[in-house]
């Protein structure tokens, strides 16, 4: 996907964003691969640019342990952030594997591919192309 050359405390880091979904990212940092759980996404408007035309900056998520939101059942795929559904890749009855893309959504002017976190069968799809969704909406249910 994207590559970044970063400097932190006078040390250089080469960061390659290999995969990004709504709840997880795979990063390669100086040749070593890391899986990162995304606990939240924030929109920050830089100081002095608080106009409606200003581009937003996305704050990088912290490295955290994997946790489900309260009330979310295993296999429930929820919208990680508000956005619009661009494409749905699966249908009810499809067998999916963990890591397999389920749908693509646009959020905060970025395209995000949302992947399955478990192996199973798609039992419910509550979205279609063009739908607007809110954070936490149950979009797909996968039966393990």
Render pLDDT for 76-108 as a digit per residue (tens, 0 to 9): 999 888 899 999 999 999 999 988 999 999 988
Give pLDDT, residue 64: 26
Backbone torsions φ then ψ of 8, nearest 5 degrees: -130, 120
Phi-psi region of 18 (alpha: psi -120 to 50; beta: other; left: phi over 0): alpha
Of 45, 26, 41, the C-alpha closest to 83 is: 41
117 or 42, higher pLDDT: 117
Q: What is the pLDDT of residue 10?
A: 87
- The b-or-e profile of 36-46 (16+ CB within 10 A means b, else e) is bebeebeeeee
Taking the alpha carbons of 129, 132, 133, 138 in that order, is the dihedral positive or negative?
A: negative
What is d(CA 13, CA 11) in angstroms, rounded to the nearest whole number? 7
- 57-71 tens-digit pLDDT: 333 333 222 333 444
Domains defined along the chain, listed by start = 1-40 (no CATH), 76-143 (2.40.50.100)
Contacts of 128 (CB under 8 A, 6+ apart): 85, 88
Q: Show the DSSP H helices in the chain as ranges.
A: none
Q: What is the pLDDT of residue 17?
A: 81
Q: What is the mean pLDDT of residues 4-22?
A: 83
Question: pLDDT (tens digit, 9 = 90+) per residue, 16-48?
Answer: 888 877 678 888 888 888 888 877 665 555 565
Which range, 8-12, 104-108, 129-133, has the best average confidence (pLDDT)? Answer: 129-133
- Mean predicted confidence (pLDDT) in 133-139: 91
Q: Tell me, what DSSP letter sits at residue 32?
A: E
| Chain position carrying tokens 């691969």 | 33
Please tell me the predicted confidence (pLDDT) of residue 1: 63
């Amino acid at each position: 996907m994207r590559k970044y050359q970063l400097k932190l405390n006078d040390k250089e880091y080469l960061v390659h964003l290999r995969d990004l979904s709504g709840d997880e990212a795979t990063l390669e940092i100086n040749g070593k691969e890391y899986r990162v759980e995304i606990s939240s996404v924030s929109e920050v408007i830089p100081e002095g640019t608080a106009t409606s035309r200003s581009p937003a900056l996305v704050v990088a998520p912290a490295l955290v342990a994997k946790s489900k939101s309260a009330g979310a059942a295993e296999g429930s795929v929820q919208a990680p952030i508000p956005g619009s559904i661009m494409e749905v890749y699966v249908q009810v009855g499809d067998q999916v594997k963990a890591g397999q893309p389920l749908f693509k959504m646009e959020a905060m002017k970025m395209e995000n591919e949302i992947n399955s976190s478990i192996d199973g069968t798609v039992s419910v799809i509550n979205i279609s192309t063009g739908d607007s969704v809110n954070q936490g909406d149950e979009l797909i249910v996968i039966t393990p």
